[in-house]
Amino acid sequence: MQTSPTTQETAGTQEKNSKKDQASLLQQLTTESQNEASQGFDTKSALDIARIINHEDSKIAAAVKKALPEIAQVIDQVARSLRDGGRLIYIGAGSSGRIAALDSSECPPTYSTAPGQVQYIMAGGPKALASAVEVNEDSEELGQRDIARRRPTRKDIVVGLSASGRTPYVVSAVAYARARGAKTAAVTCNHDTPLAAAADIAIVADVGAEVVSGSTRMKAGTAQKMVLNMITTGAMTRLGYVYENLMVNVHMQNSKLVERGIRILMSACKIDRPTAVETIKSAGRSVPVALVMLKARVDKPEAVRRLAKSDGNVRLAIEDNVLEL
């Protein structure tokens, strides 16, 4: 006599099948496949190891180049969001989350952005930056919970990072943010992924198999870092925090940055050091104010007024023209 399977048995079978499906999908990802160029890697000399890694790394820029149109879209969207009072919020897990945290933390000292303007969310929280808490990346619920705490709105852009493009924590967070009206983007290293489908814009840097299979902190991680460098540098430049190719929105909080500010002013205005030092002092130690004073030949109050009018865009403040905004 044949008996019907119990509910528990059916659930167990479904779970096994689901795990098999996930394993099959993982094997199909280029970031998880074996690299023929590094066969016998553990038998190589130190110089050969370095050569193989270097050769594979040389492919990264070409992979990122193919995604430049999508990167440009994200640059413009980030600039719009920040200009409108919104935020850039990165979300990631594991190596991708750590790269997001690095880019986020470097924006305030580089461009004097407010701490809340560029944020990161890391699966497992800040402690995961130094300790492995990778189990959290499998939780859709935690991803939704963590992004929900930031209350994303239509002014914000949320950028999810995942080398595989299928990390449940990141996919669910991006989908949640998009449903709440935020603009969304994905940064991944595989084509046709759930993360790409969940986002408005998908940046795909297909760097191929890693030298050490599955170690996506290598080529995939480098590609993601290159993409984030482009996004924040491009957005800050579009906002006018760069003049020519000079980092003029520098915050002079230590001796190195004070010296950098002086040299930037000397270069931009073709003046000597004593003049640069005196102008920065009279500008309240603000390079943008000093630059507008010198270039537009105005006093400090007028320079401050122009920068306020242009939302900090140095070139537009010099020209006293906000029409381009």
Catalytic residue numbers, as ranges: 106, 137
Long-range contacts of residues 216-219, Cβ cutoff 8 Å, at least 24 apart: 216/31, 216/94, 216/95, 216/96, 216/163, 216/164, 216/189, 217/95, 218/53, 218/56, 218/57, 219/56, 219/57, 219/59, 219/60, 219/189
Helical segments of 29-127, H only: 46-57, 60-65, 68-83, 94-111
Q: Which amino acid is at 318?
A: I
Residues in Cβ contact with 263 at an 8 Å cutoff, skipping those fewer than 6 apart: 276
For residues 286 and 247, give the distance between their C-alpha atoms in angstroms, rounded to a whole number.
12
Helical segments of the chain, H only: 7-28, 46-57, 60-65, 68-83, 94-111, 140-148, 168-179, 194-198, 219-238, 255-269, 273-282, 287-296, 300-309, 314-319
The DSSP letter of residue 4 is P
Is residue 265 within 8 Å of residue 291, measured between CB atoms?
yes
For residues 117 and 218, give the distance between their C-alpha atoms in angstroms, rounded to a whole number.
28
In sign, the C-alpha dihedral spanning 96, 99, 105, 106 is negative
Q: Which amino acid is at 307?
A: L
User: 3-class DSSP state for residue 159?
Assistant: strand
Is residue 30 within 8 Å of residue 208, measured between CB atoms?
yes
**DSSP H or E stretch at residue 120:** strand 118-122
Q: Which two tokens stand for residue 220?
A: 């995939």
User: 3-class DSSP state for residue 118?
Assistant: strand
